Amino acid sequence: MNKKACAFAVFLLLAGCQGASSETENKEPSKEGAYSVTDFAERTVSFEHPPERIAVLGNGELDIVYALGKEVVGRPTSAEPAIVAEAEEAAQVGSSHEIDMERLTFANPDLVLGSFPMNEKDVPAIEGMGADVLLTSANSVSEIEQQIELIGQALQEQEEAEKQIATIKEKKQELSANPLHKKDKVLLVYGAPGSNLAALPNSLAGDILDIAGGENVAASFEQLDEFPQYAALSPERIMEANPDRILFMAHGDPANVQDGFIKEMEQHAGWSQLPAVKEGKLELLPADLFGTNPGTNITEALDYMRALLEEDGAEQ
């Protein structure tokens, strides 16, 4: 009888373990969340419910969140008013270049929208404060469409996201259906600390130029290893490219970029003979549309670029 009792006890113990194991397996799907999204870094992020406290590290994401009918508790730090008036009172939490972790923690977000690949290194620290992280990028108009789609999925605002994406696609189709007679050869100069860079076709500004109907004279320039959307500039390269138009942009003040660039170039023979210089076609691009990701305002950036190019090439 003792042996039978021991055998029965072992049976109960095994059955209990098997039951516990089954119960754990049944519960695991709930840990995956009600829905999941995959960001630009191929990270899968799961949500039990739509995030309510959102912090963003870039202006493009700030615009997108409000365009989708949501609001933020944290926004990029800026000396200027917030690009979305409703976000003015949100905590300023740094930027994708330098996150203010103390302010971000105090804002207590449950979702942080960052930049890929720049903020990939910051994911563990942000997750450590209890927030989910989605990483996106905006190196083309198509990537902005993908940003809107992803953020719409995360916030469960897919219908509004689809409307915003449709508006952008319509603008691209409109420009494609009305090509220019003449393609301006354009040099896009981006002001970076201590140097000026040429924006390549694989940059957002380069993509805007292409869609609007211009030709990027830096297309054959060698890209930088650290910033593959840009190339180093030299007077020799500029003279050889012989641009019809030179456009200046910067994250901060493009006027300073233009002044410094012209002062440097005036020291080189041949500068005054460039078509862009002879015809006075040196333009400042608005910082809110070209110095940063404009979010849903990308349609305005496309219109602005087309209007510049139309000065030389009437539509067919």
Percent of the chain topping pLDDT 90: 73
Cβ 302 vs Cβ 171: under 8 Å: yes
pLDDT 10s digits, 167-185 = 999 999 999 999 999 999 9
Whole-angstrom CA distances from 6 to 11, 12, 184 are 9, 10, 90
The CATH number of 35-174, from 3.40.50.1980, 1.10.260.40, 3.40.50.2300, 2.160.10.10, is 3.40.50.1980
Q: What would the two tokens of residue 198 be? A: 């040429």
Q: List the domain boundaries for the chain.
A: 35-174, 179-310
Q: What is the mean pLDDT of the chain?
A: 88
**Cα separation of 26 and 284, whole Å?**
60
Q: What is the rounded average pLDDT of the residues 290-307?
A: 96
pLDDT value for 191: 86
CATH of domain 179-310: 3.40.50.1980
pLDDT value for 33: 62
The answer to whether 35-174 and 179-310 have equal CATH topology is yes
pLDDT value for 254: 76
pLDDT value for 264: 82
**Residue 18, pLDDT above cutoff 50:** no
